[in-house]
Structure 1
Amino acid sequence: MPVHAPDFPPQFKWINTKHNLSLANFKGHPILLDFWTYCCINCVHILHDLKKIEEEFCPKGLVVLGVHCAKFSHEKDYENIKDACHRLNIQHPVIVDEEMQLWKKFAVRAWPTFILIDSDGMIAFSASGENKYDILKEHIINLLHNKNLPEIKLCEWENIEDKLNFRYPTKAVATKINNTVHYFVSDTYNNRIVQLNSEGKFISSFGEGILLSPQGCCVWKSELIVCDSEHHRLIAFDLEGKPQRKYRVIAGKGDKGVFESRSEYVAKLAPLNSPTDVCLWGNDLAITCTGSHQIVLFVAKDESILHIAGSGREDIVDGPASFAALAQPSGITAISDTVLAFTDSETSSIRLVVKNWNESGKTMIVSLVGEGLFDFGFCDGLGAEARLQHPLSCAWSSVSNNLYIVDSYNNALRIYSVDKDYLGTVHLSEKLNEPSGISWFDGHLIISDTNCHRIIVIDETKITQKDNIDSLDVIPIENIYSGPFGHISDVPKYMLTQDIV
């Protein structure tokens, strides 16, 4: 028997619209609800299909609304959700589902979930997960059949056209070119890489028209390797060259997929799935595939991709790497030629990939911090008792032998001592806002402070660990790079409200 759709609580906040909405606003129109949360890679993947549905059916009277149902406590904050909607280019109204009340009323069980409401206000169809475009399209066509409905224009969303500054940067790395330090920044929202000199002055930008949501990057030989996340591939750019760099696709066929255990592909035919970070590991490149919960290796000698960790099931299960369960692995860093550390964001954990475990020849996954998909918090202590909240990146210091972690949803920089098995907090002189990237270079930590649209640099020697690792001095920020950047000829005159670096 059809069920009448419950209405939206009038006190709930909305994003992308100036007025609170109710089902009565859309009487006679079919409605598509998208239940999502912004930490979820599957929720991000379906936005492409949702955009196609909006473009095809909203002019015919369909109404598309998002329902944000937070998993993590950080995701409950209205401003954080608003930032996520802008960062992800969501152009329909989104209601903030406080304490998951709508989730419960609509009997939702997973992220993402679609619910179709017919023109009489009855629930007509529901489906969860990715790859639902065809079935949704079929049901929407049936709901719109023989109806001549006007388009309801709701969104107050404004596109952010800002090429003068960073917009939601997710990773920055440094290297020396002609004995001078240069920074390369994944300017994710602007779909480009920005190059700065040692003083943070603009040198060039490149990758526009090539990259879509670039994220992790690393320097390899004479090239910058970039995770072209939403194109599901790995791109190599020349370190030098103007105005556009020579580039090549080194891995990824452009369609996401899941790797079978120990499978091997010609690199350009590999089904990379939202590659998020990359690091040098020996002579090869280790890559986190966030979308398939796996880690793979680009083998340089024969240009192949080899599956090394993650069964594809989302969970935290240690053991033989090929069969272990990971949950949105994000940041990755090499501790040695046989050990990788990575942040497993959905389990709020720090984990290792260890080659030749106990001289057995096996590759194993070992968790240092973290217990489960819903176990998170903000607590220093021994690995078994410490807690993080959705950490997105990590960097190994070969000088101090410490692992640094950006604890993204706690807005914090954390430090893990391998020798002491202890997770502490580095207290900074500047507040972070959802940092998502960190790298180490020549005694300095380079942090992408994503929601503050800036890069900050810290001198690691200023971080003094006392006998009690919890007692750390407030660490000063050495440099902050935040723009504006660009050439005057690159932008319209109406945007030139301040001097250009």
Structure 2
Amino acid sequence: MAPVPNEEMLDELAVDVMDLQSQMADEGNKSKHKLMIRKMIDKNFTAQKYQPIPEFDTGLDWFNCLEPLTWKKHLLGSIVIIDFFTYCCINCLHILPQLRRIEKKFADSLVIIGNHSAKFTNEKSSENVKAAILRHDILHPVVNDLNNGMWTKLNIQCWPTMLFLSPRGDPFYLVMGEGRIEEIELVLSIAVEYFREIKQLSPRTLPLKPFALPSNPFELKFPSKIQCSNYDSSDTSEPLYALADSGNHRIIIFNFNGTVLHQIGQCGNAGYEDGSFNEAKFNCPNGVTWLDSKTLFVADTENHLIRMILIEQRKVQTIIGDGKQGTDFNGGHPPLQQSISSPWDILVYKTKNLDMSFHENEEQVAQKVVLLIAMAGLHQIWAYFMEQTIWWRYQVQNANSAVSIAGNGEEKNRNNDYPKQASFAQPSGLCLLRNAHELYIADSESSSIRKMSLASGKVAAVVGGTNNPMNLFAYGDVDGQKYAARLQHPLGLAHHHSENFVFVADTFNNKIKKINVQTNTIQTLRIIDDESNEVMKFNEPADLCLTPDGSQLIVVNTNSHEIIKVNMSTMRATKFHLKWPAQKISNETVGLPQGIPIVIVPNGRIFKRGISSFTLSIALNLHEGVKLTPDAPQKISPFLTRGWRLDTFDSQKLLFEGRTNIVVKIPPGVSEGDCTFHFVLLLCDEKDSSCFRKEFGVKIGLKFINSNDIVTEAVFIGVTKSEILIR
């Protein structure tokens, strides 16, 4: 085995790369750039300037592959990029689309390995790493470097860092930070050409097995942000709740009874498309905020856009952003030409002009609408002014302008009386104290809650973090006052108009806490799970909101794909069950794909006429040594006759216990209809010697007749390697 590289190796390589980049910046000729890069690769490889890196530590958890990858067995012969990342880091998330791009472009020569090197304690959990892989659609191999072993051995300094390795495993290039895709593609194209010429490229087949969590139109998938439509005490309309179902790339609107009224976006289909509710596409939306009960704004995070949803017109349109990740720290361009970066939360703020001296009657002055945006990707707070507005310090903000209002773009925890001299670290959650005209900010990477005056722009500490603006590692789980308190990557905030408390989703501590805004003191809420009668175990809760009367706290329990309702009087928690209009949503989002085989159940099934719902037992049996592939995504989706509504169906119980019931509610007077199940199964034989995919439909005709002697037997579905057996 080659000796472990010394600690100075990557420092020296980083200096070499920086020198090269400096020379390239002075040279305008692209052909000279290519020559310089080739000379550097040749020099490092031929002279064996840098020793091959060591093997990954044993005993680590690997994802998206069937076994741990080693140089000797899997990687020699390929160009390898190790991406040192941590899943909380916005800069790390920004390079994921770039990694997908180069992985596809250099598929025959390149292996990408994600080396997860946690910043926060919560991120060390392999279950949490797996959830992040599923949430962000990471398909390349990832190792959970539990104790940051490779990070330490190679003296890595920051997230993200991409280390380029030759086909024999020695480093030849290093990229730190984001925004370098053109450079990366140029280096890779030259490296592939060089190593192919000297006959070093001989990639091996890797034991890849990407994870996938299938989208289901009747289930949530990594929901993130939520807001109630009438959080303002003056609004007396029926409260509606908007939820960003981020993993399904859609927005869901429902009432307090849980009835889903609208589903906006194509479930499971990420993209960028304006248009009708059916046509529109989002990409991991997060923040949602209501202008009124007819208008909703959305922070479409991975599209780098702000979208507007017009409920009555059933229409989605973009109001800010050009769809590209921006690096502009000022703004001011026409809204649809203004590049922005990973907006994570958004709020409507209504204000009069802040210089009222020239108005005779202040009461007659209309309020202006301002959208406040937590621009996580730029570490700033932005605002979109819909009308010309006199802002703090007598600044005139033009109508239809999106500009930064606080933060200088440096990733720090710096408070300041002057907002543009303050610094934030991935601001991810916002809430308003309307009477105080203060914006509270969940500054996730500094693990602190901060506030900004909406009268002067002053940025101040509330709880968590430290008074050292450079320290972004002051995290933990400690209740207390101001800097004595400790949080861990909080993402969500909520405030009720009649209380002096701000509620916090302390995400990586898996807790809900509340801040006394008069004393800057934070306290953990002791919430009891009504089902287990034990303290509620949250799973990376990302947001929360209060009902208009303040009696219920609605918590988005992100990694458990659910919403939790907390009674604020009893502090007991129950799951908030959504009621899906099954046929309506399935028609608008997915249909049974054309061309797949559909098996008809002989003679269908018969029920008594006049019932309001029916229950049918479904059994699934795997025959002839066939079994479900462990950890692989399996999918069963029901489709019903129009007007029927799915009440209960547990696909996981059918898969893993072999039997479950489907309960369907039907309108009066029904005489017949059908239920079709779409199966997508990933199977293996008994010895795991071969795996295969089986996709098929099972259609059950249903009749309702006048008889008291009906006994409806279960539908039995048998699956073998070659056929589907039905009875």
| 3-state DSSP of counterpart to 1:98 | coil
Question: What is residue 298 of structure 1 aligned with on the other side?
Answer: 384
Which of 195, 198, 203 is matched with 2:256 structurally?
Answer: 198
8 Å CA contact 2:80–2:113 kept in 1: the answer is yes
Which of 397, 400, 407 is matched with 1:310 structurally?
Answer: 407
TM-score w.r.t. structure 2 length?
Answer: 0.63
Aligned equivalents of 1:131 and 1:318: distance in 2? Answer: 27
For structure 1, which segment, 204-213 or 296-305, has the greater mean C-alpha deviation from structure 2 after superposition?
Answer: 204-213
| 3-state DSSP of counterpart to 1:279 | strand
Shift of 1:195: 2.1
8 Å CA contact 1:168–1:188 kept in 2: the answer is yes
**Percent of aligned positions that are identical:** 29
Matched residue type, 1:167? K
Question: What is residue 52 of structure 1 aligned with on the other side?
Answer: 101
Question: What is residue 331 of structure 1 aligned with on the other side?
Answer: 429
Shift of 1:491: 4.6
Matched residue type, 2:214? E
Residues 499 and 291 of structure 1: CA distance in aligned 2, closer, same or farther (over 3 Å): farther
8 Å CA contact 1:393–1:436 kept in 2: the answer is yes
Aligned equivalents of 2:56 and 2:151: distance in 1? Answer: 11
Aligned equivalents of 1:226 and 1:190: distance in 2? Answer: 15
Deviation per residue, 1:466-485 (Å, 9 max, x gap): xxxxxxxxx11255236777
8 Å CA contact 2:69–2:75 kept in 1: the answer is no
> Where in structure 2 are the equivalents of 1:31-430 lying within 5 Å?
31-58=80-107, 60-145=108-193, 146=196, 149-150=202-203, 152-163=205-216, 164-175=218-229, 179-208=237-266, 209-221=280-292, 222-240=294-312, 245-260=314-329, 264-282=332-350, 283-301=369-387, 302-319=399-416, 320-336=418-434, 338-356=437-455, 362-369=456-463, 370-371=465-466, 372-429=471-528, 430=536
Comparing both chains, which one has the higher relative contact order based on Cα–Cα distances under 8 Å and sequence gaps of 6 or more?
1
Aligned equivalents of 1:106 and 1:150: distance in 2? Answer: 24
Task: Verify: 1:447 aligned to 2:517, yes or no.
Answer: no
What is the number of equivalent residue pairs in this alignment? 479
Aligned equivalents of 1:193 and 1:402: distance in 2? Answer: 28
Aligned equivalents of 2:575 and 2:97: distance in 1? Answer: 37
Residues 42 and 352 of structure 1: CA distance in aligned 2, closer, same or farther (over 3 Å): same
Deviation per residue, 1:26-47 (Å, 9 max, x gap): 2211111110000000000000
| 3-state DSSP of counterpart to 2:541 | coil
Aligned equivalents of 2:155 and 2:307: distance in 1? Answer: 42
Aligned equivalents of 2:170 and 2:77: distance in 1? Answer: 11
Aligned equivalents of 1:452 and 1:486: distance in 2? Answer: 22
Aligned equivalents of 1:93 and 1:185: distance in 2? Answer: 31
Aligned equivalents of 1:500 and 1:272: distance in 2? Answer: 45
Aligned equivalents of 2:76 and 2:287: distance in 1? Answer: 45
| 3-state DSSP of counterpart to 1:227 | strand
Residues 459 and 218 of structure 1: CA distance in aligned 2, closer, same or farther (over 3 Å): farther
Shift of 1:12: 1.5
| 3-state DSSP of counterpart to 1:481 | coil
| 3-state DSSP of counterpart to 1:477 | strand
Deviation per residue, 1:119-149 (Å, 9 max, x gap): 1221111111112222222222233222564
Shift of 1:452: 0.7
Question: What is residue 714 of structure 2 aligned with on the other side?
Answer: none
Shift of 1:288: 0.5
Aligned equivalents of 1:500 and 1:313: distance in 2? Answer: 55
Question: What is residue 456 of structure 1 aligned with on the other side?
Answer: 564
Aligned equivalents of 2:192 and 2:520: distance in 1? Answer: 59
8 Å CA contact 2:329–2:378 kept in 1: the answer is no
Residues 122 and 479 of structure 1: CA distance in aligned 2, closer, same or farther (over 3 Å): closer
Question: What is residue 466 of structure 1 aligned with on the other side?
Answer: none
Structure 1 residue ranges without an equivalent (≥5)? 357-361, 464-474
Task: Verify: 1:438 aligned to 2:544, yes or no.
Answer: yes
Matched residue type, 2:342? S
Shift of 1:458: 2.6
Shift of 1:345: 0.2
Rg bigger for which structure?
A: 2
Shift of 1:153: 4.1
Question: Cα RMSD (Å) of the superposition?
Answer: 2.1
Structure 2 residue ranges without an equivalent (≥5)? 1-48, 267-279, 351-368, 388-398, 529-535, 593-635, 639-650, 652-661, 666-727
